[in-house]
Chain A
Amino acid sequence: MTTAPKREEPNAIVARGLTRRFGDLVAVDQLDLTIPRASVYGFLGPNGSGKTTAIRLLCGLLEPSAGEVTVLGLEMPQMAEKLRRRIGYMTQRFSLFEDLSVRENLEFMGEIYSLPGRARRQRVDELLELYRLTRQAKQRAGTLSGGQRQRLALAAAVLHEPELLFLDEPTSAVDPENRREFWESLFQLSDAGTTILVSTHYMDEAERCHALAILDRGRLMAEGAPRKLMDDIDAVVVEIETPYPRRAREAITTLEGLLSVAQLGTQLRALFSRESQEPLHRVQTAVSSSAPESTASVQLVRANLEDVFVAVTRHSPKARPVETGSG
Chain B
Amino acid sequence: MVQSFGRIVAIARKEIRQLRRDRLTFGMVVAIPIIQLLLFGFAINQDIRHLRAGVADLSGSQQSRRLLTDAEASQVIDIVARVASIEELNTLLRQGHIAVGVVIPPDFEQRVERSQRAQRGNGYGPGGDHLDEPLAQLLVDASDPASYGAAAGLRSLPIAPRSGLKPRASAATFEMRPYYNPERRTAVQIVPGLVGVILTMTMVLFTSVAIVRERERGNLELLITTPLSPIELMVGKILPYIVIGCIQLLLVLSVGRLLFDVPLRGQPLDVLISSLVFIFASLSLGLVISTVAQTQFQAFQLTFFTFLPQILLSGFMFPFDAMPEPAQWIAEVMPLTHFLRVIRGIVLRGASLSDISRDLWPLLAFGAIAMTLASLRFRKRLD
Contacts and interface: CB of A to CB of B under 8 A. Distances in A.
A96 interface: yes
B129 interface: no
Interface string A89-100: 101011111111
A154 B92 CA distance: 76
A85 B227 contact: yes
Nearest to A93: B218
Interface stretch (B2-10, B80-88, B345-353, B370-378): B2-10
B6 A111 contact: yes
Given A62-B383, A95-B219, A95-B221, A100 B17 contact: yes
Interface string B1-35: 00100110111011001100110000000000000
Interface residues of B, number: 26
Given A62-B383, A97-B18, A114-B3, A89 B222 contact: yes
B227 A61 contact: no
B143 interface: no
A218 B353 CA distance: 60
B7 A109 contact: no
Interface string B345-383: 000000000000000000000000000000000000011
B224 interface: yes
Contact of B221 (A84, A91, A104): A91
B177 interface: no
A241 interface: no
B282 to A, nearest CB: 25
B226 A97 contact: no
B7 to A, nearest CB: 6
A94 B218 contact: yes
Q: How many A residues are at the interface, by size bracket?
A: 20 to 34
A124 interface: no
Interface string B205-245: 00000000000011111111111100000000000000000
Given A62-B383, A99-B22, A112-B227, A104 B222 contact: no
A104 B225 contact: no
A59 interface: yes
Nearest to B219: A95
Interface of A: 59, 61-63, 81, 84-85, 87, 89, 91, 93-100, 104, 108-109, 111-114, 156, 166
Interface of B: 3, 6-7, 9-11, 13-14, 17-18, 21-22, 217-228, 382-383
By Cβ-Cβ distance, the 5 closest A-B pairs, closest first, are A111-B10, A95-B222, A89-B225, A95-B218, A114-B3
10 contacts: A84-B226, A84-B227, A94-B218, A95-B218, A95-B219, A95-B221, A95-B222, A97-B217, A98-B217, A166-B225
